[in-house]
Amino acid sequence: MPVDAPLYPVNLVVDGLPCLVVGGGAIAARKAAGLRDCGARVHVVAATVGPEVRALEDVTWEERPYAPGDVAGYRLVMAATDDPEVNSRVFADGSAAALWVNSADDPAHCSFTLPAVARRGPLTVAVSTGGHSPALAAWLRRHVDTEMGPEYETLLELLSEERTRVRAGGGSTESLDWQKALDSDMLALIRAGQVQQARERLQACLSSSSD
């Protein structure tokens, strides 16, 4: 993948899918944990499996060198060893098998890159620099994480509930002015603990936009 090529952002559904992590150190452990937390079935292969990987629940591992053909049967592969030659072989094998491969800190050997992520429940904000500066992505993610307090999760819950209610009543959610509701004082009301008032404000804004 050319480093400067535009990246197509997606959110992958890996729940229940087999994913391989090659590498046994702290970085590999973070990759494995991130996949596991999204429901993936994660297996680790490394010449040396460190304590961080061994401590991960619901992650299987083998302590042996990576071998050609190890990528078979997986949907997604992470190369996270401290040996560039091994990471390159993993990328080549995965590419030949039409698999998505990420090589830690090596954009030239990635078919996808990993953004820095801030989460509040199901709300996910991802920051990517296309592999040019992971440090900047992490810095921006910290700023987003600081700004995006727990009130945003409540805001999302209210919006989701209202969307479900409108659709259950046979209405269209596309024609409603959700932006008007978001630009109102909903968030301030939630921060003040006035969740019911925020719900009423949301419904009032949407009602006026459907008139």
d(CA 83, CA 106): 11
Q: Which residues contact 6 (CB under 8 A, 6 or more apart)?
A: 130
Residue 196 burial (CB < 10 Å; 0-12/13-18/19+)? exposed
Alpha helix positions (H), the chain: 26-37, 51-54, 84-96, 134-147, 151-168, 178-182, 186-191, 195-210
- pLDDT tens digits along 173-203: 988 999 999 999 999 999 999 999 999 999 9
The band of 134, judged by pLDDT with boundaries at 50, 70 and 90, is confident
Q: Kindly report the pTM of this predicted structure.
A: 0.80
DSSP state of 185: T
Q: Which residues contact 176 (CB under 8 A, 6 or more apart)?
A: 166, 206, 209, 210
Sheet holding 76-79, edge to edge: 59-63, 41-46, 18-22, 76-79, 100-103
Cβ 124 vs Cβ 11: under 8 Å: yes
The DSSP annotation for 77-122 comes to EEE--S-HHHHHHHHHHHHHTT-EEEETT-GGG-SS---EEEEETT
- pLDDT tens digits along 48-91: 999 999 999 999 999 999 999 999 999 999 999 999 999 999 99
d(CA 86, CA 24): 13
Identify the sign of the CA torsion 105, 115, 7, 23. positive
d(CA 200, CA 47): 58
Q: How high does pLDDT run on average in the chain?
A: 92
